[in-house]
Structure 1
Amino acid sequence: MLALLPTLIPFLLMFFVQIHHTNGGDNLRYLNVFSFISIAVATYLMIVIIGEHFITLQLSIRISIFLLLLLLLISPLFVVFKAQLTESRSRSAYHDEIRLIEDINPPENEEQKSNRDQGFLPRVENMNLFQAMRTSEFWLLFLVMACAMGSGLATVNNISQIGSSLGYTSTETSTLVSLWSIWNFLGRFGAGYISDYFLHEKGCARPFFIALTLALMTIGHVIISSGFPGSLHLGSILIGVCYGSQWSLMPTITSELFGIRHFGTIFNTVAIASPVGSYFLSVRVVGYIYDIETSSGMEVCKGTHCFMLSFLIMASVTTIGFAVSTALFLRTRVFYKRFILMRSLS
């Protein structure tokens, strides 16, 4: 299912993809509604997951919770239907307005558009993978993602074993794994919104937020390594939110630095850093040290020593990532001020 379903879904839905002309007046409003629904679903699931840890729910209550969740999940369809109805009424007026504008200001030909684009944003247009790989920004971003995503995946891959070594019950570790997805979502959503605000309103280069999240990930790794009561909960929240933030920031930064024409190729090449970092940290660091710390004759390691050194090493890795992302921020801040901010205000 995991191998075939992601492939089948695009083939089934590709026929619904089409060019859709719209005036865009209500797009932000609809997007905000979708965002509100997403946050509502995440909050609802978090309350249910945490509540089930303390309260035993009857079957009737579980059915009610499930039905309410289904209602939340299908609620975006009502927004879509409303948007379709509203746009169908205003579409004719929109086309009339476009024709009037074209009569007053004839559209640019391809040569004019090319000259204007090259003069306005020369760096972000037409950069392919090999051109991007010849820049230092590409390798700085790749190294940052290896440190950030690799340590994040290493944490979630071993969170059950960490909980077991610290004396958590199977229910508690299952709850942590479930909540990790919510922290991950909040990081993706929040990092995109916050970085957009500071970029457009303050002119702050987006790589700054990668450096900030890596600093917080370092704190999260140190907290988990300490092994004090509740350290896994607090540390997993910090690492989960910051790990999700990387998957929001990295694609956006990639498109801004290297353009969108070859974005898919460049993005997936940078994304290779995630499994590369995860392999070295999960297998060569966490797994190797866990086997060493496990007492002879025992299959499960117990105590804070099982993962302390591993997470201190990962804290060092994210510290290196913080330094590299700071260098990326310093190298691109002029670029963001001159080009990305100008484009966002145009």
Structure 2
Amino acid sequence: MTHKLKALFNDPWLVFVCAMWIQSVAGVGYLFGGSMSPVIKTSLGYNQKQIALLGVAKNLGDAIGFVSGALSEVSPSWMVLLVGAAQNLVGYGAVWLVVTGLLPNLPLWMLFVAIFVGTNGETYYNTASLVSCIHNFPESRGPVVGILKGFSGLSGAILTQVYLMLNPSHDSSVILMVAVGPPVVVLALLFIVRPVERSCRTNLRSDDLRFMAIYGFCVVLAVYLLGILVIQSLVDITQTIITTSGAILVILMVVPVLVPSASVFISGNPTLMKPEERTSKVDDQNEVKTLIERNDMLPEKRRGPCIGEDFTLLQALGQADFWLIFMSLVLGVGSGIMVIDNLGQICYSLGYNNTKVFVSLISISNFLGRVAGGYFSELIIRKLSLPRTLAMSAVQAMMSLGLVYYAIDWPGKIYVVTIVIGMGYGAHWAIAPASVSDIFGLKSFGSLYNFQIIALPVGSFVFSGVVASNIYDYYARKQAGTTTESESLVCAGSVCYSVTCGLMSVVCLMAMALSLSVVYRTRRFYLRLHKT
């Protein structure tokens, strides 16, 4: 039994399941707008501009992950997770103490720093989980990134259900849960989520079967959560039902541990590879990749890493492929975040007063998009020997069609744009990081991934904060018959966002063109890599 438990502790599938659990509580920022900001506003007497400024702190904390990326290159995973848990606890713990009056009222800038620090903790969770699991499953990067990022996107819904299940007596308890809950989960799994030694014979078929089991679980979880969220939005239900549904959710979250347990206790765990054997195997793979790319190069040009080798962040910044993927991500993600940021206003402009259903729908679509994006991008590599970014270009074409559907004002457009954009936006976060790891290696993946995240605030600022808001205000003033700006102006009708969606459809086509350029530039690498 002791040998079995040791084998389970060192099983990469246990690492993956525990990383899923960490990711399911990592998205603390998702609770800010709907749950935490109203409490802060009421308790501290802030106006909407001050709350919006704190929202900027949350967005910056969620996007700036350079420190966590750099730390992952020089420190073990447990250290990265520990720093993230400390930031999470200190940042949101300070906010809770201020809101409850246990600390004197702090200046706005200090709360700004606290929220930034608290939210920035999740970048450490994301980095440690992704880096560890991609190292453990280098042949399945698409599914790994897709599933982990999917649970990160779904964490807001999961934490909300846990909070409702606890039924706290004070609204400020949601901030306490955000401050304490994720660090507790992370500390419990601190020494499990890490790179581990794979078996001497990695069975891709066996891995694929286990991934299919995880995919099945993801679908069941998504359907269950969607059902709960829709029922809660449309019907008043008792606390007993809420508690029961929350308990079922917790049980569902534990189910994936059956995958590594079955691997160890039923089918038997393969003998772990000795360190020198593992090093030899990795070196052989790297040597194959190196020879593939360097055979066609003249001796005088063989300087620095080649495509498929390990790049540092600075080296990657000097590569055209890296910037093409990044700009494609800015345009594609920016189009998606425009719809997500303005979904409430879009619903109100079309006469839908209950926006919670659509918020729930786009959240679940986001989750499914991340999971599906990772799966299909892996199929494109394995079955067709084509670059992974081909999947991203297909997603961007789909998003463009969805936005055109809204712009033309066809029936059911709100449902179409919610589902299509939710899935398309989510798929970007599965495909782009995996593509970067393919092309620029795993050694500095933490830093490369955290640089990519910058695409989110850039896209949000340009397409949501500038383009969408100005067009909305223009039509609102036009309907009101005034040229003066006022916060009380409201736009009604599909025209409020139809022009914006039309423009965003063109932006998605531009993103698709950039993705296809990467497909063209890397096609030989993926073809030869598949043959090896």
TM-score by length of 1: 0.84
1:15 aligned onto 2:15: no
Distance 1:166 1:317, change over 3 A: same
Give, as a single letter, the amino acid of the residue that structure 1 aligns with 2:465. V
1:190-249 Cα distance to aligned partner (Å, 9 max, x none):
121112122111212211111111111111112223344421111111111111111110
**Could you tell me how far apart the structure 1 residues matched to 2:310 and 2:438 are?**
12
1:342 aligned onto 2:531: yes
Distance 1:284 1:185, change over 3 A: same
1:123 aligned onto 2:307: yes
Which structure 1 segments of 5+ residues have no match? none
Structure 1 residue aligned with 2:519: 329
**Could you tell me how far apart the structure 2 residues matched to 1:312 and 1:45 are?**
32
Structure 1 residue aligned with 2:472: 290
Which structure 2 segments of 5+ residues have no match? 1-91, 93-114, 125-182, 294-305
Shift of 1:189: 1.1
Shift of 1:342: 3.2
**Could you tell me how far apart the structure 1 residues matched to 2:281 and 2:367 are?**
43
**Could you tell me how far apart the structure 1 residues matched to 2:333 and 2:281 are?**
44
Give runs of aligned pairs for residues 80-159 of structure 1, distance below 5 A: 80-86=260-266, 90=269, 94=271, 108=280, 118-120=290-292, 122-159=306-343
Matched-pair identity in %: 27
**Could you tell me how far apart the structure 1 residues matched to 2:284 and 2:382 are?**
27
- Specify the SS of the correspondent of 1:124: coil
**Could you tell me how far apart the structure 1 residues matched to 2:406 and 2:282 are?**
57
Distance 1:152 1:129, change over 3 A: same
Structure 1 residue aligned with 2:413: 231
Give runs of aligned pairs for residues 152-171 of structure 1, distance below 5 A: 152-169=336-353, 171=354
**Could you tell me how far apart the structure 2 residues matched to 1:184 and 1:342 are?**
33
| Superposition CA RMSD, Å | 3.1
Give runs of aligned pairs for residues 1-346 of structure 1, distance below 5 A: 1=92, 3=118, 6=122, 8=183, 10=186, 13-17=189-193, 20-21=196-197, 23=199, 27-51=207-231, 61-86=241-266, 90=269, 94=271, 108=280, 118-120=290-292, 122-169=306-353, 171=354, 173-294=355-476, 295=480, 296=482, 298-339=488-529, 341-343=530-532
Q: Is the 8 A contact 1:184 1:241 kept in 2?
A: yes
Shift of 1:11: 5.8
**Could you tell me how far apart the structure 2 residues matched to 1:261 and 1:33 are?**
29
Give, as a single letter, the amino acid of the residue that structure 1 aligns with 2:531. M
**Could you tell me how far apart the structure 2 residues matched to 1:249 and 1:110 are?**
24
1:56-76 Cα distance to aligned partner (Å, 9 max, x none):
656655554333323212222
- Specify the SS of the correspondent of 2:191: helix
Q: Which has the higher mean CA deviation after the structures are superposed, 281-290 or 129-138?
A: 129-138
Shift of 1:315: 1.2
**Could you tell me how far apart the structure 2 residues matched to 1:290 and 1:229 are?**
21
**Could you tell me how far apart the structure 1 residues matched to 2:218 and 2:309 are?**
33
- Specify the SS of the correspondent of 1:14: coil
Distance 1:110 1:327, change over 3 A: closer
Give, as a single letter, the amino acid of the residue that structure 2 aligns with 1:326. L
Q: Is the 8 A contact 2:210 2:259 kept in 1?
A: yes
**Could you tell me how far apart the structure 1 residues matched to 2:348 and 2:286 are?**
60
Q: Is the 8 A contact 1:126 1:261 kept in 2?
A: yes
Give, as a single letter, the amino acid of the residue that structure 2 aligns with 1:14. L
Q: Is the 8 A contact 1:180 1:237 kept in 2?
A: yes
Shift of 1:130: 2.0
**Could you tell me how far apart the structure 1 residues matched to 2:507 and 2:281 are?**
51
- Specify the SS of the correspondent of 1:143: helix
TM-score by length of 2: 0.56
Q: Is the 8 A contact 1:220 1:239 kept in 2?
A: yes
**Could you tell me how far apart the structure 2 residues matched to 1:301 and 1:129 are?**
45
Highest RCO, 1 vs 2 (Cα 8 Å, sep ≥ 6): 1
Q: Which has the higher mean CA deviation after the structures are superposed, 219-228 or 107-116?
A: 107-116
**Could you tell me how far apart the structure 1 residues matched to 2:375 and 2:214 are?**
14
Distance 1:146 1:59, change over 3 A: same
Give, as a single letter, the amino acid of the residue that structure 2 aligns with 1:129. L
Give, as a single letter, the amino acid of the residue that structure 2 aligns with 1:38. C
